[in-house]
Amino acid sequence: MEEKKKKEKEHVCSICGKPSETVICHACEDKIRGEALEKKKEVEKAGRTDTGRR
Ligand SMILES: [Zn+2]
């Protein structure tokens, strides 16, 4: 049974592939969160620019 457990996919980060208890390790989670925030900012910025455009 233990062998089967070993053969099964270990929990690793789907981003960096490092062993992690979660699908995405905290380091990558932070990174993604930061990128998402930046994207959000960009969208907001674009929206504002679009609104200002005639
Ligand atoms: Zn990671």
In this prediction the pTM is: 0.55
pLDDT value of residue 51: 64
Q: How far is the CA of 10 from the centre of ligand 1 (A)?
A: 14
Q: Which residues in the chain show pLDDT less than 50?
A: none
The torsion angles phi and psi of 50, rounded to 5 degrees, stand at -65, -40
The predicted structure's pLDDT at residue 46: 86
| Burial category of 25 from C-beta neighbours within 10 Å (exposed 0-12, middle 13-18, buried 19 and up) | buried
7 CA → ligand 1 middle, Å: 21
What burial class does residue 8 get, using C-beta atoms within 10 Å of its C-beta: 0-12 exposed, 13-18 middle, 19+ buried? exposed
Domain range summary for the chain, segments of one domain joined by +: 9-52
Do residues 28 and 15 touch, judged by C-beta distance below 8 A?
A: yes
The total number of residues shown for the chain amounts to: 54
Identify the pLDDT of residue 3. 61
